[in-house]
Amino acid sequence: MMNWIETKNNEPINLNEIPCLNIVDLRKEILEIKKRVVGFFGQPFGAGVKLFVIMADDEQGKLFVSSAYFNENEKSYDSITKDIPAFHMFEREFFEEFKIKPLKHPWLKPVRNHKKEYPFFEIQGEEIHQVGVGPIHAGVIEPGHFRFMCNGEKVYDLEIRLGYQHRGVEDLFLQNPTNQLAESVCGDSVIAYNLAYSKAMEALLNIEVSNKAQLIRLIALEMERVAIHIGDLGAIAGDTAYQMGNAIFGATRTLVINSLLEISGSRFGRGLIKVGGVNFDIDEKLAQNILKTLEKVGADVKRTTTTMLKSATVISRLERTGVVSYESAKALGLVGMAGRASGVELDSRFDFPDKWFMDKDDKKFKATGDVYSRTRLRYKEIMQSLSLIRKFMRMLPEYKNEPLLVPVNNGLYGEKFVVSIVEGWRGEVIHTAITDNNGRLSRYKIKDPSFNNWYGLAMAVRNNGISDFPLCNKSFNLSYCGNDL
Amino acid sequence: MLETLKLRIYQGEQFIKDIPNAPMRSQFRGFPKINKGVDISPCNGVCPTGALDVENYSIDMGKCTFCGACSNACGAVEFTNNYKLASTKRENLIVTSDMTFEEFRKTAYEVRKEIKQVFGKSLKLRQVSAAGCNGCEMELNACSNVNFDMGRFGIDFVASPRHADGIVITGPISENMAYALEDCYKSTPDPKVVILCGACAISGGVFQNSNKLNREFLEKYPIDLYIPGCPVHPLTFINAVVDFIKK
């Protein structure tokens, strides 16, 4: 392990201790270390570019970091994707940002850049037709373009073009890093993003937030998961024309987000988390109210899901629709909920635990990789999160005299590198921050789980009817803005 | 089947009966109140979007994300739970220290007569997410759920701009969405309305300094209604549109 430096979630390392190799050696190291890629991004460095690689050992909860330097004349290298497919989006992104070409990359297309015409994959044939959808979709959702190659109703291939949401978020973090900006990167994962950002900053400030604030943050994180998962169950019910499910899950979700409003003043928990702790307390009375509401939520979700999944018309739409096999999911590097539904057991809450998440969930989930699997998994995770919330709420009174916020008196430590991983409801939200010698952010890199998982959706719809696409899409519910940044 | 019917009966009625007067939880951060008698200097530099003007004791609701950073920092700013925040004029969104909520509401709307004539009973909208973070999008979806049930006022979101009477824009309008947005607008038949929904659409919000935006659309075409929020609460949105079209 000479050529890697080992670290952990939220543990800053000195920038000058990160090994710097040439790309040929780094490539060899990446193939040899046999870990999972969670970061692969560049930063301008002198006249050239420095490429940072972060590999995760999920079983040990360890991260391995290394880097390679490209001088101004080195404009290409041998692609890693052809050996490890999970690198393919990372290499495309690196190429787009720094014009250093991964040679023999099988799918080197734009990620967010719209300056040139996008080269869509095409199938030729008398019976083949194309269907283009978006960027503006039929419903009220974010923009993206989907191009289907169909034979009759059957989808042979789906290509997804994104980038419409690109706002240059990473650069904005260098100009003016704020909690409000972190909350707005991906507005359906407000808590997860703000938590990842705040924890990265706290690591670079070397401050420890109070136990009370940590618990309130985790309660909000699990409430976010519960709320979105319930909304998604409603959307899946809606797309299978099970209208009652759609109505009830919609109303049940309202109860959860209104509880978040009672804590923070916002239905999505905006304004709750701040670098140094949290802005709002959960006192005993509020805790009791929320627990009572969540008890009803749990009972209603259980009853509605059970009734819904007994309906033959629903089941026939869910089972064996949009299958992603374990092998595909593993090879593509799917993460989070979509990965778990295909049997890839990654959950950074337990893989990279802080002191509150020690006991891993031992109940095995029978993953089948189809829409049905993603539906059942949501139900399971709602119940799991509700029990976690109960557990954290019970622990709160013990710390009631602790402060909500600890003061921030110093600036960020300079010349540091820190990785911050938070398991949002979609999966791992990874923020990586690098500071310069003045203690200013010199690079801020965000990786949303959707960045890995969009390709999983494209795989899922192959050989399915095109009319099942909305259902497959809802079952993944991936982020456009988290991908486009 | 019996289970399904029982479940339906158990759920009962979920809709909010009186949307214009629906109660709001006290914690909600809505219309701001600024007290000139209190020292505002601790608020210097805390506003992430520059909505708070410390010198003039004013808040621009078109920029405000209602994050509460200023009210946490000093006593001069307080957020009430009044959720009717919309206005037909951009400059009206700037709230000064001597402005009460009632006064704001009095001058908030100035609607062309033909809008009430043509759209008074029904308004079909096409939503365009132009780099919206999915916050406003989720709240706009919530407007149509069983609690808020916006359809009862004849207001709906439709799939095609050709079927729409107007467009609702969310997000700060990225370069990459500028073409699609304008195309959508041109595809909507006249007469039509344009509604800006949320701090990002109105002012760029937290993204206002990004160089990846293209907000030319807003200079080219008239805007009919500004609805502040981050994201916009369903009650804010529905009441804004109802006040806009109903007599």
User: What are the tens digits of pLDDT across the range A177-200?
Assistant: 999 999 999 999 999 999 999 999
Tokens of A395: 């622990």
Question: What pLDDT is attached to residue A398?
Answer: 93
To which CATH superfamily is domain A5-103 assigned? Answer: NADH:ubiquinone oxidoreductase Nqo5 subunit (3.30.460.80)
List beta partners, residue B200. none
Cα A254 from Cα A157, distance rounded (Å): 37
Cβ contact, residue pair B174, A167, below 8 Å = yes
Question: What pLDDT is attached to residue A417?
Answer: 96
**How big is the CA angle at A111 (ends A113 and A178), to the nearest 5 degrees?**
80
Which residue on chain B is closest to A258 by alpha carbon?
Answer: B25
Tokens of A305: 């899901």
Question: What pLDDT is attached to residue B246?
Answer: 84
Ramachandran bin of A36, using left for φ above 0, alpha for ψ from -120 to 50, beta for the remaining angles = beta
In contact, A220 and A269? CB cutoff 8 Å? yes
Which residue on chain B is closest to A479 by alpha carbon?
Answer: B134
Cβ contact, residue pair A481, B132, below 8 Å = yes
Q: A361: pLDDT confidence band, cut at 50, 70 and 90?
A: low
Q: Which helix (H) or strand (E) holds A383?
A: helix A371-395
Amino acid at B90: R
Question: What pLDDT is attached to residue B75?
Answer: 85
Cβ contact, residue pair B66, A266, below 8 Å = yes
List beta partners, residue B128. B169
Q: B102: pLDDT confidence band, cut at 50, 70 and 90?
A: very high
Cβ contact, residue pair A168, B212, below 8 Å = yes
Cβ contact, residue pair B175, A141, below 8 Å = no
Residues spanned by CATH 1.10.645.10 within chain A? 169-453
Query: Is residue B241 over pLDDT 70?
Result: yes
Question: What pLDDT is attached to residue A239?
Answer: 93
- CA-nearest of B7, B136, B161, B168 to A237 is B7
Q: Which residues of A touch B200 (CB under 8 A)?
A: 184
Residues spanned by CATH 3.30.460.80 within chain A? 5-103
Query: Is residue B41 over pLDDT 90?
Result: no
φ/ψ (deg, to 5) at A464: -100, 160
Selected for mutation to probe chain A from B5, B126, B129 (highest A CB count within 10 Å) is: B129
Which residue on chain A is closest to B1 by alpha carbon?
Answer: A311
Cα B94 from Cα B107, distance rounded (Å): 12
Task: Classify residue B208 as exposed, middle or buried by CB count within 10 Å of its CB (0-12, 13-18, 19+).
Answer: middle
What is the percent of chain A where pLDDT is above 90? 92
Question: What pLDDT is attached to residue A364?
Answer: 80
| pLDDT tens digits, one per residue of A238-274 | 999 999 999 999 999 999 999 999 999 999 999 999 9
DSSP characters for B105-122?
Answer: HHHH----HHHHHHHSS-
Q: Is the ipTM of this complex over 0.90?
A: yes
Cα A478 from Cα B222, distance rounded (Å): 34
Cβ contact, residue pair A187, B135, below 8 Å = yes
Structural domains in chain B, CATH included, are 29-108 (3.30.70.3270), 113-245 (3.40.50.12280)
Amino acid at B226: Y
Question: What pLDDT is attached to residue A456?
Answer: 95
What is the percent of chain B where pLDDT is above 90? 77
Residues 83-142 of B with CB under 8 A from A: 126-142
Q: A354: pLDDT confidence band, cut at 50, 70 and 90?
A: confident
Query: Is residue B112 over pLDDT 90?
Result: no
Cα A120 from Cα A398, distance rounded (Å): 58
Question: What pLDDT is attached to residue A409?
Answer: 86
Query: Is residue A1 over pLDDT 80?
Result: no
Distance from CA of A252 to the nearest CA of B (A): 10
Amino acid at A41: F
- Please check whether residue B200 touches A, CB under 8 A: yes
In words, the CATH class of domain A169-453 is mainly alpha
Query: Is residue B44 over pLDDT 90?
Result: no
Query: Is residue A119 over pLDDT 80?
Result: yes
In contact, A453 and A478? CB cutoff 8 Å? yes
Q: B116: pLDDT confidence band, cut at 50, 70 and 90?
A: confident
Q: What is the pTM of this model?
A: 0.96
Considering chain A, what is the average pLDDT of its residues?
93
Q: Which residues of A touch B11 (CB under 8 A)?
A: 247-248, 251
Tokens of A307: 């009734």
In contact, A7 and A13? CB cutoff 8 Å? yes
Question: What pLDDT is attached to residue A362?
Answer: 64
Cβ contact, residue pair A265, B213, below 8 Å = no
Largest CA distance in chain A: 73
Cβ contact, residue pair B68, A271, below 8 Å = yes
Query: Is residue A359 over pLDDT 80?
Result: no
Question: What pLDDT is attached to residue B128?
Answer: 96
Q: B84: pLDDT confidence band, cut at 50, 70 and 90?
A: very high
In contact, A161 and A170? CB cutoff 8 Å? no
Q: A353: pLDDT confidence band, cut at 50, 70 and 90?
A: confident
Question: What pLDDT is attached to residue B2?
Answer: 85
Which residue on chain B is closest to A302 by alpha carbon?
Answer: B7
Cβ contact, residue pair B48, A176, below 8 Å = yes
Cβ contact, residue pair A247, B146, below 8 Å = yes
Distance from CA of B131 to the nearest CA of A (A): 4
Region A473-484: mean pLDDT is: 94
